Structure 1
Amino acid sequence: MPRPSAQPFVPDPTVQAAAEAFTAASGVTARILRPPARTHYSAKIEFRITPGKSWSRPVLLAENVDRFATLAAIRATAHLRADQPFVVVAPHLSSAMLRHCRELGLDALDTSGNAVLHADGNLIMISGEKRTGLASRTKDRAWTAKGMKVVLALLCERELVNAGQRVIAQRAGVSLGTAQSTFRDLFERGDIVQRKDSHVLADSGRLLDEWAALYPSRLRNQLLVNRYRAEDPAWWRGIDPRSEQCRFGGEVAAALLTGYLKPATVTLYCQHDMPRKWLIDARLRLDPNGDVELLSAPLPLSGAIDAWQAASLPKVAPSVVHPALIYADLVATGDSRNLDTARMLREQYLAA
């Protein structure tokens, strides 16, 4: 009896458009292939200059690349996974973004034909092509600031995907309409799939990587309230942030969870302002370059974060935010020691 044939591979429209635009702009044939098995890549592109000269790259699809921090986080998460060289495909890349890709050593294409590619010591760079209609129509509901809160809630509490959208909205601290549109967008993108009578996250690791890459520019900047400088760098050891509706994030949280990192920056996620008692006792003074940062909690601390704490192992420090948020904080720094700690955190607490 003949074996059933494999399902035909249908590339993402953005990848297809980018490959075609690059071929038209450069004269280099770009052929889309099936992505490597059991990876987070969307496709594979083979670039062929002549019949005997070709190279290929797996495709990392990015819905929107509009900040340098996004590219830096993409590079950092790739470093954490020890990925082979890949090509970032996005709807549009400005000239500034392309220059930054070149500086970071990233290969990238967009749907207008803009590109930066490294191959055999040579550089192909095309810049200045105008944004296409496809790029301007790209939906991005999951990656608005409010949509990212919904995605974070789903990453913190995997069971939430089947809890109903009113519950998702409550856990994420957003409106029902935002929860519905974000859920629909994730479903259309294939990040949420239906299996029998339930939904699951198709690839939570890939979703986490995309979320962490966009977090610095899309959400974290909006959450930052103030930075302070502490007279005593170890002041944070004497407080229980839960007493003031706060949790540790970033380096302090990672140190508490892994015992590996010596924190240089104290990150606090709070429901309200910095508690006056801490300002007085630790003699915290406002400083835009200070080593203490206060951010508004992206999720209600009584929502998905506390739900995770209640279900977590006893060894997990109750004074920290969810590891997904800590991981994103560490990746955003780009610091090599923080990236090593992020890798440990991912292996211990964020395995799919």
Structure 2
Amino acid sequence: MDIVKTDIGNNTKRIQVLREALRAFEATTARPATIIATELRLPQGVADAEVQLDEGRRLIVEIKHTLKPTTLGHALAQLQRFGRPGLLVTRYVAPPMAERLKQLDVPFLDAAGNAYVRTPRMLIYVTGRKPKQPAPTEHTVRAFRPTGLKVIFAILCVPELTEAPYRKIAEEAGVALGTVGWTFYDLKHLGYFRPTRPKGGIIEKRDQLINAWVEAYPQQLRPRLRPRRFRVKEVDWWKTEDLTQLDMWLGQEPAAALLTRHLRPEIITIYGDTHFETLARKIHPIKDDHGNLEVLQKFWNFKPAAAGVKDYPVVPPLLIYADLVATGDARNLETAKMIRERFLA
């Protein structure tokens, strides 16, 4: 494996996964693999790396330490947003996930030697190889656990909060005062926050911080929001109900439809369940784990910017984007890409 250029910085562990996967690819296929660059800055954002396999075209790389159903959508969104041929790299891809990626035509490599690569010059599909050693235990940094994610969400949506007193940040994020201090401490040591005074500073590497939040949210915070599913007979009920009076906020598909005019909502996601009983008396929802209405607790206290939407309460674009990519659904990923480019760039 050749390395042409590296700019690893704080990305060392991720690049180590890439190196292991490329070595395994070379050992399994007897074909060369070269790292062209790491932390590659492109107009759409920062890609983890760029590689070349067997003298073929260069591929943009998305690296995941582990690949789970909850993180697959974000990986796919990352590969799509750069508009160039991509490659997913991780420590291990189990056979069911390998088959799913193959069906989606998503090229991948793992450190065990499993791979799917299809180009005009080659077709490689290797699956069933086991890791030589157990993956190292991953510890989630406090900042990316539920309460820390609430603070990060608040400062990404309202950047001026980074200069506000900690008490104000805690109120807007809906967390205890002490949470703010250790969240900023973690973000500083991860390179996401640069202090400019004893209590205040600016966000660094915003694009990468958004990626980290979007990946962590469906695993760490969303399950804590008491998500419930129902079925409602009329799917467009939300267009005529006054949700603002009920402190309810449209998320995911209906919010994306309002922002982009590109998606017809099939599942209506609502954040804010305090007055759900009042709404239920009007729309008559029936409990259904696969229903077309999802209700979650609201986890922020700041007022989201309207983002160009009138007459409807809409959650911040960051949350819309995170929920869309977590589904892994092709139509949602296409809309998520539009939201990322228009509202999160």
TM-score (norm 1): 0.76
Structure 1 residue ranges without an equivalent (≥5) = 1-6
Distance in 2 (CA, whole Å) between partners of 1:335 and 1:24 is 32
1:251 to 247, 253, 256: 253
Report the alpha carbon displacement of residue 55 of structure 1 after superposing the two structures with TM.
5.8
Distance in 1 (CA, whole Å) between partners of 2:206 and 2:319 is 14
1:219 to 218, 221, 240: 221
Q: Which residue of 1 is the match for residue 79 of structure 2?
A: 78
Q: Which residue of 2 is the match for residue 282 of structure 1?
A: 283
Q: Which amino acid aligns with 1:328?
A: A
Q: Which amino acid aligns with 2:238?
A: W
Q: Which residue of 2 is the match for residue 191 of structure 1?
A: 192
Q: Aligned with 2:137: secondary structure?
A: helix
Distance in 2 (CA, whole Å) between partners of 1:145 and 1:114 is 34
Counterpart check, 1:344 vs 2:338 = yes
Q: Which residue of 2 is the match for residue 9 of structure 1?
A: 7
Q: Which amino acid aligns with 2:83?
A: D
Q: Is the 8 A contact 1:42 1:60 kept in 2?
A: yes
Matching of residues 198-217 of structure 1 within 5 Å: 199-217=201-219
Cα deviation 1:90-137 (Å, max 9, x = unaligned)? 466556555544444334455x5454241533326463115557x325
Q: Aligned with 1:160: secondary structure?
A: helix
Q: Is the 8 A contact 2:91 2:112 kept in 1?
A: no
Q: Which residue of 2 is the match for residue 326 of structure 1?
A: 320
Q: Which amino acid aligns with 2:37?
A: R
Distance in 2 (CA, whole Å) between partners of 1:163 and 1:205 is 22
The worse-fitting range, judged by mean Cα deviation, of 85-94 and 231-240 is 85-94
Distance in 2 (CA, whole Å) between partners of 1:286 and 1:139 is 34
TM-score (norm 2): 0.77
Two-structure CA RMSD over aligned residues (Å): 3.5
Q: Aligned with 2:47: secondary structure?
A: coil
Distance in 2 (CA, whole Å) between partners of 1:138 and 1:225 is 25
Distance in 2 (CA, whole Å) between partners of 1:69 and 1:270 is 23
Q: Which amino acid aligns with 1:216?
A: P
Q: Which amino acid aligns with 2:316?
A: H
Distance in 2 (CA, whole Å) between partners of 1:173 and 1:88 is 36
Cα deviation 1:109-167 (Å, max 9, x = unaligned)? 55x5454241533326463115557x325654443333332332222112223335544
Report the alpha carbon displacement of residue 266 of structure 1 after superposing the two structures with TM.
1.5
Report the alpha carbon displacement of residue 47 of structure 1 after superposing the two structures with TM.
4.4
1:45 to 39, 44, 51: 51
- CA gap of 1:165–1:271, structure 2 versus 1, over 3 A, is farther
Distance in 2 (CA, whole Å) between partners of 1:138 and 1:32 is 27
Q: Which amino acid aligns with 2:49?
A: A
Distance in 2 (CA, whole Å) between partners of 1:88 and 1:184 is 31
Matching of residues 129-168 of structure 1 within 5 Å: 129-131=131-133, 135-136=136-137, 140-163=141-164, 165-168=166-169
Q: Which residue of 1 is the match for residue 20 of structure 2?
A: 21
Q: Aligned with 2:188: secondary structure?
A: helix
Distance in 1 (CA, whole Å) between partners of 2:90 and 2:35 is 15
Q: Is the 8 A contact 1:107 1:115 kept in 2?
A: no
Q: Is the 8 A contact 2:88 2:108 kept in 1?
A: yes
Q: Is the 8 A contact 2:249 2:271 kept in 1?
A: yes
The worse-fitting range, judged by mean Cα deviation, of 317-326 and 92-101 is 92-101
Q: Is the 8 A contact 1:230 1:282 kept in 2?
A: yes
Q: Which residue of 2 is the match for residue 116 of structure 1?
A: 115
Q: Is the 8 A contact 1:224 1:293 kept in 2?
A: no
- CA gap of 1:31–1:226, structure 2 versus 1, over 3 A, is same
